[in-house]
Amino acid sequence: MNKSIAILISGEGTNLQAFIDAQKEQLLQGKIAVVISNQPQAKGLKRAQLANIPSDTINHKDFKNRDEFDYALSKTIDKYQPDLIVLAGFMRILGTPFVTKYQSKLVNIHPSLLPKFTGLNTHQKALDANETEHGCSIHFVTDELDGGPVFAQAKVKVSQQDNKHTLANKVHQLEHQLYVKCVNLLLSNRLTLNNQKVFYNNEPLIGTIGL
């Protein structure tokens, strides 16, 4: 049976588009069951609509606190029973009960070479720190911000001509390729999480997977 994915977004949905394109070209080893956004105006919702993928909006502003929002989000996800939950530019911090419930099937992509530059504005932070390389990381989600086990990274060189926009564009290109590759590995059970340790082809993963 084809495995299914729920993709959570907050904005443009460029990584979502990479998954939509991969699905269209039959390069995704699963099916996008639903796209969920916490922002009603997220452009990614339009991308889902154009691809005839079910979508839902759970506006975090409609809830008194994080726990209530997380509960509503969880209820919506559970309607679709996805095998994997993919955070793709989802800009809400998820609480411990939510993360614990979906542990080992909840993954995120972050635009830096973790553990460097957690949080926001990573491209500018990399420039300010005079980094010679930058990139993106994919990790299982825990209740520590950008702190779960990292299993994949891709790198770009930082040139003296780069600004935060050119650097972001370079990293986006990597993200789109790496995220689809890793989600396929997760869907085929070649990548798994057990007791906070990542296994690749049933062996403990040494280092990270690249492109």
CB 168 within 8 A of CB 158: no
Distance CA 179, CA 171 (A): 12
How far is 170 from 163, CA to CA, in rounded Å?
11
* Residue 154 to residue 138: CA distance in whole angstroms: 9
In this prediction, residue 1 carries a pLDDT of 57
Residue 146 has what pLDDT?
A: 82
Among residues 60, 110, 123, 165, which one is catalytic?
Answer: 110
**Does the pLDDT at position 2 exceed 90?**
no
pLDDT of 64 over the 60 cut: yes
More reliable by pLDDT, 103 or 86: 86
Query: What's the predicted TM-score (pTM) here?
Result: 0.95
123 flagged as catalytic: no
How much of the chain exceeds pLDDT 70, in percent? Answer: 100
**Structural domains in the chain plus CATH codes:** 4-204 (3.40.50.170)
Taking residues 59-79, report their average pLDDT: 97
Can you tell me the mean pLDDT for 155-178? 96
